[in-house]
Amino acid sequence: MPKAKVYITLKPALLDAQGRVLQSALQQLGFESVQGVRVGKYLEVELAPNGDPHEQVEAMCQKLLANPVIEQYRYEIEP
């Protein structure tokens, strides 16, 4: 059964508030070498083995999974 791994992140130009909070929390815990944190989503989508998984996952990202205005995404398909 093909499985898609989808990585969704904010576009680099946008401020990642959640990442800033994590960065600051890590630094306060003593991880002073942390220079930056960006937070994203990671999805695993299991697909039935019919149709073109690339085409399906691209459509899912465009229609529901990501917000293409502020987010970028990439995915890998495992057979």
Using CB under 8 A as the criterion, which residues of the chain lie in contact with a second copy when the complex forms? 1, 7-9, 19, 22, 25-26, 29, 31-48, 50-51, 56, 59-60, 63-65
Contact 6, 61 (CB under 8 A): yes
Least CB distance to a second copy at residue 70 (A): 16
The rounded distance, in Å, linking the Cα atoms of 8 and 75 is 9
- Least separation in angstroms between residue 79's CB and a second copy is 15
Which of 64, 69 has the CB closer to a second copy? 64
**What's the rounded Cα separation, in Å, for the pair 58 and 43?**
13
